[in-house]
Structures are given as C-alpha cells and as structure tokens.
C-alpha cells in the first residue's frame, strides 16, 4: 500500500470525513504495519498523523514507525561495517617519534574509523567503537539477525545482544546459537532475548562459560559513585548467586522493620546499611533474625555432574553448572523436586476451591513463570501477586476460576490492577503451553510465553 492508498481517503492533507476517514486510515495503517519496511513505505510515514487516527490506529502507527527504525538501523549497520574496513596505513616515516612507546603506536596500523564515526554522529569514542564492533559482528556472523532487523521484526537492542553475547564464541558455534533463537526473537522483548541468548551460550559452550565466569570472579570489586543532592550509589560486582543471596537477606531484613512509614525501597537501603555498618548480631545469632531463600532450578543430570548445561537463578537467568552446584551443595540447602514437561519446559503439578493458594501451589507458579506474566514486564515472580486468570467465584467457588497452577499467573501490582480494574484489558492463558494472550483496549493482542525451566 503506501502513500497512494492514503490518497484515497485524504485530500490535501485533510481527512475526507471524520468518521469514515478515521476508519479507512486505521485499516490502511494496519496493513502498513504488516508490510516489511522499504523506501515506498517510508515515504508514507509523514502521513501518520495522530489526530487522524483512532486509539487503535495510533498504536498501529507507532509499531509502523518502530519497524522503520529497525530498517534504518540495519542500513546504518551495513554502512558502519563498510566504514570499519577502511583503516589508515602505516604512519609517514617523517613524523618525529616521541619515545619508544609512541614509535610502536605510529608504526602500527591505526584504525581511524572510530574517530570518523564519533565525529560524524557526535558520539563518544567508546560509543562509536561499540557500534562499529556490533556492525562487524552482525554483518560477518549473524546475517539472519540482521535480516530480521532490516524487516523491522526485532529491535536494534535485540540484534546488539545477539552480536555481543555471541562474540566470545567461534563463528560456527555463534551461528548455532542464532539458528536456535531466530524464529522466536520477533515475539520477544529485549530482556527475554538477552536471557534466551545467554541460556543458549551456556548450553553450547559450558566450559567456556565456566572459564569466563571464573575470570569475572577474579575481577569482583566494590563500586561507589557520587550522585546529585548529597547521595551516592554503592554496590558490588560479584557472582550472581552471591548477589542473589545478599538481595534475599536484605529483603527479609527490610520486611522485619514492620510498618513504620518507610517505603520498601527505603527499608531495603536502610537494611543494607544496618547489616554492614550496624549489624544486629545478637538477634541474628539467637535465631530472632530472618532467613533468606535463593531459588535455583537445575536439571538432575547437571546437578549430579553428568551434564554441564546451565541452571536458572531466579531473578537473574542462566548461570553456569559450577555456580548452581555451589548453591545446591552449600550447608543448609533444601531441595524440592519439580516435574517438567520435556517438550515445553513448563512445570507440571493443589486446594482448588480456596481463594488463597497453598504455599506449594504458590512456589510452583513462581518457579514456573519466573516473571510477571504481562508481556513487557520483567518483575521477578517472587515479588508479584498471584492472580486468577479466570476470576475466582467467592460465592460459588466450584463455579469460578479454580485456585490451581493452570489458572494462576504472577502479576506485578501495577499489571494486576490493570487486569482487575481496567475494563479494556483482558487475558486468556493456555493451560497446556502457558502462553498468555493479552488484549488491549484498542483490540491489539500481545503474547507472553513463560520461559522454559532450564531447557529450551
């Protein structure tokens, strides 16, 4: 379709009639959304006027623009790859050297592409270098991912994740990872793509993943950065399993403050300070303190050392087999068996007539879905409410939505309220696949697929 189709319903930049034109424009934009971006469709972007469209049409127009951004970014990637191939030769011999180190710099080949791109695009050198490297990787190793970007099927952020995380792999292994993910990336948000790529990298290169992890362990450090208004950011770079344990201890300690007017975030920050600077060792040692639980899901063969595939650290994502075993065999560890469907990777397994789920059911749903079930949300399921997909009937429980894992989903408080109180949002969940289809007030549908437990 293109600009010519729009001309049938708009004359001189003005809609033909408010009702009919808006409906026709919506239909045109919906068709445009389904087309792969190209020069002809790009010429129509100036006609996407929000005031001419219905709320549904505006969402379609937004998606059209986003697809064209991917198309343009794919073109930029190709140009950057060509630019990166242009380097200066050895420096002129008549340039006076300043010390032996400067001799080594000037006598080598100096890549001027970084400076050229940084100046042309008004970027920092580090940002320009990162874009050039991403372009080299995408064009040289990931043609399928670059094709998805050019078609507007994925975002540049997703393409960059594939390039950067697979850069540590041999070319043929990186291609294997790409082939395993390419069909699903168009349905994923960037965070889901990051977790999926990381999981595949762990799977195809477990020894390399463990080696890289050990190198990063050696680089662990504290961080402290000044911020505005007398504040500072304080933290640490450390193994993910230790960070998860620290987070749970801080969380539990913060909850122990009770209702004293502070927000939970304020309590967490104060709890970290109290635990480090003013530890209440007496309460903790006497048993009056709080415990912490770190959830790790791991196949039995990985746990027993038969396989070196990844495990899943809740709230973080895939971790190496070595990290999983460190947690699993630590003192005081409690193991719970979870059954998983081999085909889908979903947990299977409850009092269905009670409104509040049992502790076992709650653990099951949290472990199964891992995150908020709203498509764009990455709030850990452990911090979410458990929502009945089909509403629970308090008057006649046997007729309402049962309190079973198949009818429960984790939703953060915001998206729980959205589903419960907003008349335009609704959701249906397939009990067999775990796929949730959300319908927006505009009529658009969005799909959320829970991540598989360890296996993909």
Domain range list for the chain: 3-53, 69-204, 239-285, 296-340, 349-448
- Lowest mean pLDDT segment, chosen from 89-98, 185-194, 386-395: 89-98
Kindly report the pTM of this predicted structure: 0.72
Q: How confident is the model at residue 2 (pLDDT cuts 50, 70, 90)?
A: very low
Q: pLDDT tens digit string along 315-353? A: 677 888 888 888 888 777 777 666 565 566 666 554 555
- Lowest mean pLDDT segment, chosen from 193-207, 240-254, 343-357: 343-357
Q: What is the pLDDT of residue 20?
A: 46
Q: What is the pLDDT of residue 61?
A: 95
The stretch 146-164 carries a mean pLDDT of: 97
Q: What is the pLDDT of residue 194?
A: 94
Find the distance separating the first CA and the last CA of the chain, reported in whole Å. 39
- The larger pLDDT score, comparing residue 102 to residue 172, is at 172
DSSP state of 433: T
The rounded Cα 275 to chain-centroid distance in angstroms is 31
Nearest-Å Rg of the Cα atoms of the chain is 27
Q: pLDDT tens digit string along 158-190? A: 999 999 999 999 999 999 999 999 999 999 999
Q: What is the pLDDT of residue 50?
A: 87
* Nearest of 180, 176, 174, 214 to residue 196 by alpha carbon: 180
The stretch 234-259 carries a mean pLDDT of: 91
Percentage of residues in the chain with pLDDT exceeding 70? Answer: 80
Q: What is the pLDDT of residue 385?
A: 93
Instruction: With a cut of 50, say whether residue 287 has pLDDT above it.
Output: no
427 beta partners = 438
Q: How confident is the model at residue 285 (pLDDT cuts 50, 70, 90)?
A: very low
Q: How confident is the model at residue 226 (pLDDT cuts 50, 70, 90)?
A: confident
Round to whole Å and give the CA distance between 326 and 40. 57
Q: What is the pLDDT of residue 354?
A: 62
- Lowest mean pLDDT segment, chosen from 41-50, 87-96, 249-258, 306-315: 87-96
Q: What is the pLDDT of residue 114?
A: 84
B/e letters for 108-136, b = 16+ CB within 10 Å, e = fewer, are eeeeebbeebbeeeeeeeeebbebbbbbb
- The larger pLDDT score, comparing residue 431 to residue 316, is at 431
Q: What is the pLDDT of residue 213?
A: 92
Reading the block at residue 183, the tokens are 């069909």
Round to whole Å and give the CA distance between 197 and 154. 14
**Residue that the structure tokens 């006598």 belong to:** 107
DSSP assignment string, 368-392: HH-B-SSTT---BGGGSEEEESSPP
12 Cβ contact list (under 8 Å, min separation 6): none
Q: Where are the alpha helices (DSSP H) in 337-403?
A: 359-369
Instruction: With a cut of 50, say whether residue 1 has pLDDT above it.
Output: no
The stretch 394-423 carries a mean pLDDT of: 85
6 Cβ contact list (under 8 Å, min separation 6): 25, 28, 44, 47
Q: What is the pLDDT of residue 294?
A: 66
CATH class of 69-204: mainly alpha
Q: What is the pLDDT of residue 347?
A: 61
Instruction: With a cut of 60, say whether residue 110 has pLDDT above it.
Output: no
Tally Cβ neighbours within 10 Å of residue 364. 22
Reading the block at residue 185, the tokens are 């990336």
Reading the block at residue 360, the tokens are 């076992």
Q: pLDDT tens digit string along 12-48? A: 444 444 444 667 889 999 999 999 999 999 998 988 8
Helix, strand, coil abundance in the chain, percent, nearest 5:
50, 10, 40
Q: What is the pLDDT of residue 326?
A: 83
Q: pLDDT tens digit string along 69-84? A: 999 999 999 999 999 8
Q: What is the pLDDT of residue 280?
A: 53
């Amino acid at each position: 379709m293109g600009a010519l189709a729009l001309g049938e319903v708009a004359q001189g930049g003005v809609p033909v009639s408010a009702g009919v034109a808006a409906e026709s424009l919506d239909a045109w934009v919906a068709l445009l959304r389904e087309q792969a971006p190209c020069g002809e469709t790009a010429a129509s972007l100036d006609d996407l006027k929000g005031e001419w469209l219905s709320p549904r049409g505006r969402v379609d127009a937004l998606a059209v623009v986003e697809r064209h951004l991917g198309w343009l970014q794919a073109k930029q990637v190709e140009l950057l790859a060509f630019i990166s191939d242009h380097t200066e030769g050895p420096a002129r011999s008549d340039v006076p050297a300043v010390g032996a180190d400067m001799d080594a710099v000037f006598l080598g080949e100096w890549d001027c592409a970084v400076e050229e791109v940084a100046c042309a695009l008004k970027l920092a050198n580090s940002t320009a270098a990162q874009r050039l490297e991403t372009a080299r990787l995408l064009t040289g190793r990931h043609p399928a991912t670059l094709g998805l970007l050019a078609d507007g099927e994925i975002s540049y952020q997703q393409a960059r994740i594939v390039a950067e995380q697979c850069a540590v792999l041999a070319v043929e292994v990186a291609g294997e990872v790409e082939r395993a993910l390419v069909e699903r990336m168009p349905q994923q948000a960037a965070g889901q793509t990051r977790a999926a790529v990381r999981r595949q990298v762990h799977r195809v290169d477990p020894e390399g993943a463990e080696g890289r992890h050990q190198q990063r362990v050696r680089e662990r450090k504290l961080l402290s950065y000044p911020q505005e208004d007398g504040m500072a950011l304080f933290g640490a770079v450390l193994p993910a399993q230790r960070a998860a344990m620290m987070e749970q201890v801080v969380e539990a300690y913060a909850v122990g403050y009770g209702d004293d007017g502070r927000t939970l975030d304020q309590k967490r920050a104060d709890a970290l300070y109290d635990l480090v600077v003013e530890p209440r060792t007496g309460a903790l040692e006497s048993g009056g303190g709080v415990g912490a639980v770190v959830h790790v899901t791991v196949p039995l063969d990985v746990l027993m050392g038969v396989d070196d595939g990844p495990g899943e650290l809740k709230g973080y994502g895939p971790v190496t087999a070595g990290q999983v075993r460190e947690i699993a065999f630590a003192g005081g560890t409690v193991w719970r068996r979870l059954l998983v469907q081999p085909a889908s990777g979903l947990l299977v397994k409850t009092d269905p007539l009670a409104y509040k789920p049992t502790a076992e059911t709650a653990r099951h749903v949290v472990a199964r879905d891992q995150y908020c079930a709203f498509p764009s949300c990455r709030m850990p399921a452990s911090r979410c409410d458990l929502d009945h997909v089909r509403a629970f009937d308090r008057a006649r429980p046997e007729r309402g939505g049962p309190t079973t894992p198949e009818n429960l989903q984790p939703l953060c408080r915001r998206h729980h309220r959205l589903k419960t109180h907003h008349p335009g949002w609704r959701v249906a969940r397939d009990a067999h696949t775990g796929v949730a289809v959300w319908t927006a007030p505009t009529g658009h549908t969005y799909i959320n697929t829970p991540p598989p437990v360890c296996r993909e």
